[in-house]
């Protein structure tokens, strides 16, 4: 293998192919989209926002007595 190339292996067939860097047009991560870890983080943030709103709004709004701000 030269410094200007790399080897791509096919795990299903066990074959390997040497490709030069000049032949590469585009490289993409397989799978695409958001990972499970990303969805867990987004879900955790959303749960935190909802929980904070449920706790903070009644404390700030004083049971509906105020009509300004977030109330």
Rounded to whole angstroms, the Cα distance separating 36 from 6 reads: 30
Query: What six digits make up the tokens of 31?
Result: 């799978």
* pLDDT above 60: residue 64: no
The whole-number pLDDT of residue 28 equals: 78
Rounded to whole angstroms, the Cα distance separating 19 from 5 reads: 5
* pLDDT above 60: residue 15: yes
Query: Quick check: 50 and 42 in contact, CB under 8 A?
Result: no
Size of the chain in residues:
71
Listed by start position, the domains of the chain span: 33-71
Tell me which residue has tokens 């958001």.
34
Task: Give pTM, 2 decimals.
Answer: 0.44
């Amino acid at each position: 293998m030269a410094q200007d190339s790399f080897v791509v292996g096919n795990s299903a067939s066990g074959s390997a192919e040497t490709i030069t860097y000049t032949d590469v047009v585009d490289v993409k991560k397989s799978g695409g989209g958001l990972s499970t870890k990303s969805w867990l983080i987004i879900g955790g943030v959303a749960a935190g926002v909802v929980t904070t709103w449920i706790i903070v709004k009644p404390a700030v709004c004083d049971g509906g007595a105020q009509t300004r701000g977030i109330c």
